[in-house]
Structure 1
Amino acid sequence: MDENEKAIEAIAKGEFEEALELLNKAIEKNPDDATAYINFGNILAEVGESERALSFYQRSLNIDPNAAAALYGAGNVSYNAEEYAEALKLYQQAHKAGLDDGSLHYMMGLAYYQTEKTAHALACFQRALEWDESDTEARFYYGMCLARTEQLDEAVTQFQQVVEEDDKHADAYYNLGVASLMKDSVREAITYFEKAVEAQPDHMLALNGKEQAEKMLEE
């Protein structure tokens, strides 16, 4: 097992300092080891050292311009910085370079969603679910895209499956409440808003939705 493989094991255990020592050794042995720079960047990104992470991803790309994992990592840094258009460009480059998995399609979907390219986002979340049907967050955002495109019944089906998989998913309960209001099922809406608040007591949208729905019952 080489230093990179040992470092990956250490990263999985959360032993970042040990992983960094191993990666430093890997780079000293082989300064042209693109993988070591990627793993180094991943650790820095994980601990919030975004600028340093990007510099390591760039070093990897200087060695191998088609290092898909470096492009993906840089895309995640850009996404977390709310630079969604840049993130999307990097994800697309990673895909072109050969990366094709559920995580990439999920993150591409988020980037499209944040830039309001809903049709593209919907397709990406659908692809992510094809990779992993148990990806609850991909399913939630797939439902959100369906709701945005006025496919309300289909969206409700997805949100219901989300809360079956995660009974503490406040946002899914909230959106089920909104859908119930749109169908004039006020009491049902209140129940969903209450479940959202139970899961997340400071969910202001659900608190407001519950208040408004209760006023509708009083009228």
Structure 2
Amino acid sequence: MDKNQIGIQYMQEGNLEEAAKAFHDAINENPNDSVGFINFGNVLAALGDHEKALKFYKKAMELDENAAAAYYSAGNLYYKSEDYENAKTMFETAMKKGLDTSDNYFMLAMTFVNLGQGKLALPYLQRSVELNEKDAEARFQYGLVLAQLDFIDEAMVQLEKCLEIEPNHADAYYNLGVSYAFKENAEKALEMFQKALDIQPDHLLAGHAKQLIETKQ
């Protein structure tokens, strides 16, 4: 087993120190291989040293301009530091370099959401759930963006699918309630708000919305 595989195994076990040693050895053995640098960057990112991790990802890009995983990993770091413009560039580059994964499409979509460009996020959320139908969070975010763009019926379909995967998703129930309220179905809206509160009793938005409907009845 090569050093990169050993390091990945250590990472999966949560042993970051041994993983770092293995990836360090991998870099020493193959200094022109981008994989070791990406993996070492991933350890540094997991340890919270984002600045140093970024240097390793950039080194990987220098060694192999088509190292899609390096762009994706760098994008995640930029996203975490709320540098959405650079995150967008990295996720888009990863996609152009052939990274056809639900995670990359989802992160690119969420970058657009955070940039206030929901319409641009839509196709990437759609692709994300096509590639991973069981991703509850992607379904939820897809539903939210659809609702924000006034595609209420389509949004409800995604929120329902989110709840099929994750039955205790209080925010999905809350947003379903909002959708039913928008469609003037107060009874169903109340039912959804109550389900959100059953799961999360301190859900302020659901509590307020429920109160609002009850005072109108």
Q: Secondary structure at the match of 2:207?
A: helix
Q: Secondary structure at the match of 1:184?
A: coil
Bigger shift: 142-151 or 170-179? 142-151
Question: How many angstroms apart in 2 are the aligned matches of 1:19 and 1:77?
Answer: 20
The aligned residue for residue 122 of structure 2 is 122
Q: Deviations over 1:68-97 (max 9, x none)?
A: 111100000111111112111111111112
The aligned residue for residue 198 of structure 1 is 198
CA pair 46-197 structure 1, distance change in 2 beyond 3 A: farther
2:107 matches 1:107: yes
> In 2, are the aligned partners of 1:3 and 1:23 still within 8 Å (CA)?
yes
> In 1, are the aligned partners of 2:135 and 2:165 still within 8 Å (CA)?
no
The aligned residue for residue 91 of structure 2 is 91
> In 1, are the aligned partners of 2:147 and 2:155 still within 8 Å (CA)?
yes
Point out where structure 1 has 5 or more consecutive residues left out of the alignment: none
What letter matches 1:112 in structure 2?
Answer: F
> In 2, are the aligned partners of 1:186 and 1:216 still within 8 Å (CA)?
no
Question: How many angstroms apart in 2 are the aligned matches of 1:83 and 1:164?
Answer: 33
Bigger shift: 159-168 or 197-206? 197-206
Q: Secondary structure at the match of 1:51?
A: helix
Which runs of structure 2 are paired with 1:142-157 in the superposition (5 Å)?
142-157=142-157
CA pair 205-47 structure 1, distance change in 2 beyond 3 A: farther
TM-score (structure 1 length as normaliser): 0.93
Q: Secondary structure at the match of 2:66?
A: coil
Q: CA deviation at 1:200?
A: 2.6
Question: How many angstroms apart in 2 are the aligned matches of 1:168 and 1:38?
Answer: 36
Segments of 4+ moved more than 6 angstroms: none
Q: CA deviation at 1:27?
A: 1.6
Question: How many angstroms apart in 2 are the aligned matches of 1:102 and 1:57?
Answer: 21
> In 2, are the aligned partners of 1:122 and 1:142 still within 8 Å (CA)?
yes
TM-score (structure 2 length as normaliser): 0.94
Question: How many angstroms apart in 2 are the aligned matches of 1:26 and 1:190?
Answer: 58
Which runs of structure 2 are paired with 1:1-12 in the superposition (5 Å)?
1-12=1-12
Question: How many angstroms apart in 2 are the aligned matches of 1:211 and 1:85?
Answer: 40
Q: CA deviation at 1:35?
A: 0.7
> In 2, are the aligned partners of 1:113 and 1:121 still within 8 Å (CA)?
yes
Q: CA deviation at 1:170?
A: 1.3
Q: CA deviation at 1:148?
A: 1.5
Aligned residues: 217
The aligned residue for residue 214 of structure 2 is 214
Point out where structure 2 has 5 or more consecutive residues left out of the alignment: none
Which runs of structure 2 are paired with 1:8-47 in the superposition (5 Å)?
8-47=8-47
Question: How many angstroms apart in 2 are the aligned matches of 1:52 and 1:190?
Answer: 50
Q: Deviations over 1:103-154 (max 9, x none)?
A: 1111111111221222221100111122111121111111112112211111
Bigger shift: 202-211 or 126-135? 202-211
Question: How many angstroms apart in 1 are the aligned matches of 2:148 and 2:201?
Answer: 26
Q: Deviations over 1:167-201 (max 9, x none)?
A: 11111111011111112222322221122223233
What letter matches 2:180 in structure 1?
Answer: S
